[in-house]
């Protein structure tokens, strides 16, 4: 699909590096970062999850972050974190945008997921 290829070519991919402020126990585990109102909330070392959707829900539960998710024709759509809506939310996996939604976006055991305002 041309639109997916164009989006992949123009996306703002960036390398994700290990943050030295993260606990060493998180190395080799899935880490997820939420940027909400210019504040980062980070957690790692959780039970590995298969998808961005599953990891997001588990991490938010542990961090006390509320979510609003709507089911739309393209699948689950994340409306807000802690009632912060903005212009939407985007996630990356290991610094790359996903061509699929959060339910279908698969993770490795050591993936780093980042959620940022669109």
Name the CA radius of gyration of the chain, rounded.
14
Write down the pLDDT at residue 4: 43
Write down the pLDDT at residue 30: 97
Write down the pLDDT at residue 11: 43
Write down the pLDDT at residue 18: 84
pTM to 2 decimal places: 0.85
Write down the pLDDT at residue 58: 98
**pLDDT tens for residues 60-77?**
999 999 999 999 988 899
Going along the chain from its start, the domains and CATH numbers come out as 2-117 (2.170.130.30)
Spell out the SS3 assignment of 32-97: EEEEECCEEEEEECCCCCCEHHHHHHHHHHHHCCCEEEEEECCEEEEEEECCECCCCEEEEECCEE
Q: In the chain, which residues have pLDDT < 70?
A: 1-16
- Distances 5 to 10, 11, 13, 97 between C-alpha atoms, Å: 9, 10, 14, 12
Give CA–CA dist 11/23, Å, rounded.
Answer: 30
Write down the pLDDT at residue 81: 97
- Distances 57 to 19, 28, 51, 73 between C-alpha atoms, Å: 22, 20, 10, 20
């Amino acid at each position: 699909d041309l639109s997916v290829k164009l989006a992949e070519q123009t996306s703002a991919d960036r390398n994700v590096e290990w943050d030295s402020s993260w606990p060493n126990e998180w190395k080799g585990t899935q880490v997820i970062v939420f940027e909400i109102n210019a504040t980062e909330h980070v957690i790692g070392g959780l039970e590995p999850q298969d998808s961005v959707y599953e990891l997001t829900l588990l991490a938010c539960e542990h961090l006390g972050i509320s979510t609003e998710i709507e089911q739309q024709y393209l699948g689950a759509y994340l409306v807000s974190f802690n009632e912060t809506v903005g212009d939407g939310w985007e996630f990356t996996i290991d610094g790359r945008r996903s061509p699929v939604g959060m339910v279908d976006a698969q993770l490795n055991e050591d993936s780093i997921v980042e959620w940022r305002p669109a």
